Structure 1
């Protein structure tokens, strides 16, 4: 309920026009400036000066008082003439008012009305003159908006009637009537009477509230849609993982396939990744068919020559057969670039021959790949940068431009799994040399400076290649490296049979005849110092032995039996006796006594 009882009262007959309101306000002001009216004071208190707890709306909340207290004559009603003895009536009070029938005076013989409970006689003392129009307007401006402005007749004697209270009672009666029509008990009040009519709200406030509600609905809708999509996606992915929707098990049936194709499998690829690559190249029909056929069997990465549209089981069988590998080359320690024939009649394919064989493939009747000649030509003529030569070997390689042997020893002995058969000869050599340099660095070869033996990185690589070709046992590598370093230190010719065999047409550990006198850069019987290039592929054990050989005064060594037993000495006479032992065991035949 709205406590502002001034709402809806402009039409009430007790209010009058604007001028009357201003005059009434001035009248109240003058009365408040004078002496307090005991009767009014008694009206607004309990009679003993204590404030009334009921406020100004007190006709219904006036507590009982002493029955013997004097009674106040009832206030006159709005529109009634002033009571007898009223000292003053505001000018123009009757202007603009509706006429009302004159009040009938009580008969003289009638007994006086009993006094109102808690009220004393009305003090009809002097009243201040009315305020000027200027003061009335000022009082009106200072009055709060919608403030309750009782009529001046409230101060007059007679029965008090509160128009605001009347309006409130009227609304309550209407609410009770509506509640009774809606089914509420007749006479119900308060909460039992049902809700009162809702107050009108500001249009601006209602529009803002509607916009806020609309925004909340939009935000909530977006959040709900996002959560539904997120939960649905996670659930779908999980159901696919557990196989709820079923797996794609399609598979081909033609074991012969339809065409040749080269497929590359990258390093560290999972079996599922294998299946995806084969499916993309139309080798198998589905990933699940391939993984099921593989059954967890390990398959190496690299290049494969396969057939398209073959059963998954056929694809697995082809990939586990090394004959279908393309670009896979195994280079053992000590292997040279060129193919060599041994004294026993066996031919050892060189690095160039092995690379050419591994990368040459027949695809649907057309052969592709590189040849030995193309590789040798690229090694002899391409720049060190094109070949991927490391900086510590660039000068030595440049010095032998035109000779394919200038890259000897720069390709490390290992299993090369993925030489791309579609590359050119220069690209293949670049791939092998650049990755070999990384391997050498991992094995401890520095990129600059010298080792503990005062050898540069390239000289260390050359020394290691000689060590690897001279003896068969890795435990002898450090002592052989020390012999080479000691001979270099005293400017003694190395006189290593392995360096002579490097340029020989027939490889023979027992060098004889013209090989001793061959005028080549690699003949250490004729040339002092190290050969111009390594004489084979250098492995990690020989390289580590050459980087830091053990201390010792050895200058000579010789293998004395077929098991590779090697004897070391610093005395030449002892060396000759050791050599005779090798002759006696059939290891050597040249210069035997």
Structure 2
């Protein structure tokens, strides 16, 4: 393997610098060069050792210099024995014992040979290569240090940002905890306070569920109970309170507490002492003792909005032949909602109800789909709602609601009631649901005893099937100023859509409220050929006939009993 010889390196076995072995002259010794340059054995230069100043002392031992790539030498100025103009001195090279020894020998050689110093002596090639390598190492070290400094600076900035973020988080935590103490005891108390906040949040947002499910311990629920109670039995002002049906005493207490009637649920439950109370609308006083509230809700004196609609009544009041007036549905609603609150009258009137029945839309009134066609046939007539309010009891009609809102509530509830009785699912009459309601209302008004309802329903269906006029007194009385079972005179001849002595088929609307028995009798009446029926006495005894002659004979019984006078 061939090895490259560095510039100035000996080709001999010694490996010493060439100028030391005599292969080339020493620096500045060109004049002493032998004439025969080809002579291989040249007397070596004598090198004297020169002591370097103490400031220039270097470590005694150093690692050998590794070969470096060739670099062109740059001229430097060597030291002269005598003062002379020189070029700027080269920068001191890194410590190297071999280089120090060689430099000392070179200085000694110059002192031995009295020659004229050159103006720009050359630097030995081996020294120049070493300087280049050291400069490269220093540059690399500088670059490495600069990279480390940049990394450290960046790391410092990251630490600073992280420290600031941590500081901000601590500050926010301190604010949220309301400057929690830094001591161990303080931190423990802060944790307890946080737990209490969570418990209170559960009570406020879902504490009722937690209590019902038994999730909260009894000592927590007891501690959180409000046991406040008022002492002023007169209270401060009137207020209406609505209690839903089937409410528990706890529900009562919660509603009353929210309305400002009682001080707490706990106080009301204790005062009620397990009494059974009814749901509904109550006129109460704010700020009264729980015991006073229980007393006011025990009787009926403070109940408002309780509506009872009987079977077989019309929307409007009707006076009978006995001069007694039967209140209509509108009268019953007005009476149920009338109340005075803090000196002001509250509730709806009959006139307001009639106006709403005339003008409000079917949607506003809650009219069911199966009745809308019939309702639309009588625009501007409040009687278009006849029969759509079923008999029954409403415990909580809001006196502060509008007429249309109240009618909507009653009609919507009634339609569900009718449907639950089988109006849409158990109809075997052959009539539409609305027609069934009309026919059932006639049945309701004609019959006194429930056991006669199915046979009267069959009479109605048989006459309709034969296209025979119904000729029912109840339909004639519907529009009469005064009802009379013995129809005669103007009422008999009245030219109205409801007078079945004049018209064929059913009237345009029901003529009264329809009870469950009358409706079910109309939905599925028994088989029979009856075409006539007649009440023959004041006890309501009813006789049925399949033909007119039989009916006439039975009618005479009513005349004999003095029950009928017309036609006797």
TM-score, shorter chain, exceeding 0.5: yes
**Rounded Cα–Cα distance in structure 2 between residues aligned with 1:284 and 1:300:** 18
Q: Deviations over 1:157-209 (max 9, x none)?
A: xxxxxxxxxxxxxxxxxxxxxxxxxxxxxxxxxxxxxxxxxxxxxxxxxxxxx
**Rounded Cα–Cα distance in structure 1 between residues aligned with 2:258 and 2:249:** 14
Query: Does residue 1:406 correspond to 2:406, yes or no?
Result: no
Query: Does residue 1:238 correspond to 2:238, yes or no?
Result: no
What is the Cα deviation at residue 229 of structure 1? 6.3
What is the Cα deviation at residue 343 of structure 1? 1.2
SS of the residue aligned with 1:323? coil
Q: Deviations over 1:502-539 (max 9, x none)?
A: 11111111112111100111100111111110000111
Query: Residue 402 of structure 2 aligns with which residue?
Result: 424
Aligned residues: 364
**Rounded Cα–Cα distance in structure 1 between residues aligned with 2:295 and 2:488:** 51
Q: Deviations over 1:50-78 (max 9, x none)?
A: xxxxxxxxxxxxxxxxxxxxxxxxxxxxx
**Rounded Cα–Cα distance in structure 2 between residues aligned with 1:338 and 1:468:** 17
SS of the residue aligned with 2:217? helix
Query: Residue 478 of structure 1 aligns with which residue?
Result: 454
**Rounded Cα–Cα distance in structure 2 between residues aligned with 1:235 and 1:371:** 51
Moved more, 286-295 or 511-520: 286-295
- Equivalent position to 2:256, from 256, 271, 278: 278
Query: Does residue 1:469 correspond to 2:445, yes or no?
Result: yes
Compute the TM-score of the two structures, normalised by the length of structure 1. Answer: 0.58
- Equivalent position to 1:580, from 556, 565, 568: 556
Q: Deviations over 1:325-347 (max 9, x none)?
A: 22211000111100111111111
SS of the residue aligned with 2:543? strand
Aligned ranges 1:430-509 → 2 under 5 Å: 430-446=408-424, 451-509=427-485
**Rounded Cα–Cα distance in structure 2 between residues aligned with 1:299 and 1:476:** 39
**Rounded Cα–Cα distance in structure 1 between residues aligned with 2:475 and 2:247:** 43
What is the Cα deviation at residue 236 of structure 1? 6.2
What is the Cα deviation at residue 478 of structure 1? 0.6
Aligned ranges 1:351-390 → 2 under 5 Å: 351-390=329-368
Query: Residue 589 of structure 1 aligns with which residue?
Result: 565
- Equivalent position to 1:566, from 534, 542, 552: 542
Q: 1:562 to 1:309 in 2, by over 3 A?
A: same
Query: Does residue 1:332 correspond to 2:310, yes or no?
Result: yes
What is the Cα deviation at residue 313 of structure 1? 2.3
- Equivalent position to 2:494, from 518, 521, 539: 518
Query: Residue 510 of structure 2 aligns with which residue?
Result: 534
Moved more, 271-280 or 405-414: 271-280
What is the Cα deviation at residue 555 of structure 1? 0.4
SS of the residue aligned with 1:446? coil
**Rounded Cα–Cα distance in structure 1 between residues aligned with 2:557 and 2:309:** 34
**Rounded Cα–Cα distance in structure 2 between residues aligned with 1:385 and 1:278:** 33
**Rounded Cα–Cα distance in structure 1 between residues aligned with 2:554 and 2:275:** 53
Query: Residue 33 of structure 1 aligns with which residue?
Result: none
Q: 1:422 to 1:246 in 2, by over 3 A?
A: closer
- Equivalent position to 2:237, from 259, 262, 273: 259
Query: Does residue 1:294 correspond to 2:272, yes or no?
Result: yes
What is the Cα deviation at residue 235 of structure 1? 8.9
What is the Cα deviation at residue 255 of structure 1? 2.2
Compute the TM-score of the two structures, normalised by the length of structure 2. Answer: 0.61
Moved more, 403-412 or 324-333: 324-333
What is the Cα deviation at residue 252 of structure 1? 2.6
Q: 1:543 to 1:285 in 2, by over 3 A?
A: same
Query: Residue 93 of structure 2 aligns with which residue?
Result: none
Query: Residue 89 of structure 1 aligns with which residue?
Result: none
**Rounded Cα–Cα distance in structure 2 between residues aligned with 1:368 and 1:423:** 9
**Rounded Cα–Cα distance in structure 2 between residues aligned with 1:583 and 1:290:** 64
Aligned residues: CA RMSD: 2.5
Q: Deviations over 1:384-404 (max 9, x none)?
A: 122111111111111100110
Q: 1:574 to 1:236 in 2, by over 3 A?
A: closer
Q: Deviations over 1:232-255 (max 9, x none)?
A: 9789632356x6x59755433332
The runs of 5 or more residues in structure 2 that have no matched partner are 1-187, 200-213
- Equivalent position to 1:394, from 369, 372, 379: 372
**Rounded Cα–Cα distance in structure 2 between residues aligned with 1:437 and 1:393:** 9
**Rounded Cα–Cα distance in structure 2 between residues aligned with 1:235 and 1:279:** 24
